[in-house]
Chain A
């Protein structure tokens, strides 16, 4: 069985090296500061005993008061898993550092989060819309998204 890390246990492991990074330890997850995300990612991947080499999933969730980016990580060597979360306030231009330099598997997933939830990933090599087209109004997985059909431009139907 893949052993899930408890939040408190993992928070201790992170705080030992990066004392400022952890915001809160939850049941099975650790919430970290967005600014520290890249350092936390490197730490999780490279520390012996942690070795989270496989980024299973990146999710963006809109909680109206804030956005949350959730990272599901697995270590294929140690067969354990953990969940890292980071919260950004402000609906206009939420920004989280990109972890593509640590796990390349974040590439398409971060693009998807940017496309559908509208969170920008600082340092992503190619942050473009992926499932919708450039020029689509808004980000559909935001809770305040209302599709105004009049405003949608279909580039392929032009002319």
Chain B
């Protein structure tokens, strides 16, 4: 007699250590195997786009801090670039270098968190994560020197940055640059050829390049599938066209490649930071722009950057007033979840956590 079984519905989240915030997955399991997935969003929805319609262009920078709170600086940057495009403001040369330098440090900090939590999800509880926190701490210390804050920076302005880099920033950055390559090697020694990591991530959660492009996936997840698409190269903004760096790509498009791409991107970010430091001119860091930024009525602009998690875009429409008529946030974390169902079907519960962790989402940005 054949045994019949019914699928069992399990709610993973909203309160679950592997959901990186408040995210819920309704999963139908056949035994241990995922049969169907329904992601449920919105637990952290604060209506950022609506709030933006009631604030001046400068005030919105504080809202962007609260999107991806592990990479607030790049959110600032994406937003101010969009406003600069909309209002026709040009930041001074030095400000562009400062922004690129800061953004690359932010990318390292965000990838450290992504790697640390990913390994945590696999089951290496807390130890590798604390190693990653150790280096991130140094970056946050440097950001604190720049703007006094450690999570929500509000550092960038339309037309530049709020303060120039302080004196004590440079020695801190130099010592960080000197020690970080060895730290990345240390992670790699611990992890890259680790038998458990390889067994849990190789060929797990594969997504093909065609599928990744069709699902509008961006960032390390797209590049791990072998698509050489990075907005810093494809559509250079600020001073990225003067920087020498490579775009690391994966081959298989599995969880392991996503981990490897992030590790390699940290090395490339260090290269960019070094070049910024060498090339940085002196001069003002904030353009002479009116304190109330305005754009002509009917003007619209779409500004996008390569944030640590992918393509972060702001679509702004102006009605000539002091606040945008419409401020749409194209958040990479949200759109990267489009293919989540396809990635999870047929895998087991334990793999679900690994695959989900490898996408590296941030709920502040998913729910906005």
| Complexed CA–CA distance, A131 and B39 (Å) | 11
With contacts A83-B302, A107-B338, A131-B368 known, is A55 near B42, CB below 8 A?
no
At the interface with chain B, which of A9-17, A31-39, A56-64? A56-64
**A108 & B326 in contact (Cβ 8 Å cutoff):** no
**Residue B41 lies at the interface, judged by CB distance under 8 Å to chain A:** yes
Q: How many residues of A contact B (CB 8 A)?
A: 31
B47 to chain A, nearest CB (A): 6
**B45 & A132 in contact (Cβ 8 Å cutoff):** yes
Query: Which residues on the A side are within 8 Å of B211 (C-beta)?
Result: 104
Query: Which residues on the A side are within 8 Å of B337 (C-beta)?
Result: 108
**A56 & B339 in contact (Cβ 8 Å cutoff):** no
**B315 & A70 in contact (Cβ 8 Å cutoff):** yes
Q: B45, B217, B317: which contacts A61 (Cβ < 8 A)? A: B317
| Complexed CA–CA distance, A152 and B50 (Å) | 17
Q: A53, A59, A106, A131: which contacts B213 (Cβ < 8 A)? A: A53
As a 0/1 sequence over residues 48 to 89 of chain A, the CB contacts with chain B under 8 angstroms (1 = contact) are 000001111101011000000010100010010101000000
Within 8 A of A (CB), among B300-352: 302, 304, 311, 313, 315, 317, 325-326, 328, 330, 334-335, 337-339
Query: Which residues on the B side are within 8 Å of A83 (C-beta)?
Result: 302
Least CB separation from A81: chain B residue = B235
Least CB separation from B311: chain A residue = A56
**Residue A140 lies at the interface, judged by CB distance under 8 Å to chain B:** yes
| Complexed CA–CA distance, A131 and B62 (Å) | 21
A88 to chain B, nearest CB (A): 16
A21 to chain B, nearest CB (A): 22
**Residue A109 lies at the interface, judged by CB distance under 8 Å to chain B:** yes
Least CB separation from B49: chain A residue = A141
**B330 & A56 in contact (Cβ 8 Å cutoff):** yes
**Residue A119 lies at the interface, judged by CB distance under 8 Å to chain B:** no
Interface residues of A (CB under 8 A from B): 1-2, 53-57, 59, 61-62, 70, 72, 76, 79, 81, 83, 103-109, 112, 116, 130-133, 140-141
A to B CB contacts below 8 Å, 24 in the list = A1-B236, A53-B213, A53-B214, A54-B213, A57-B302, A57-B313, A57-B315, A57-B330, A59-B326, A61-B326, A76-B213, A76-B227, A79-B234, A79-B235, A83-B302, A104-B214, A105-B215, A105-B335, A105-B338, A108-B335, A108-B337, A112-B334, A131-B42, A131-B367
Interface residues of B (CB under 8 A from A): 41-42, 45, 47, 49-50, 211, 213-217, 227, 229, 234-236, 302, 304, 311, 313, 315, 317, 325-326, 328, 330, 334-335, 337-339, 367-368
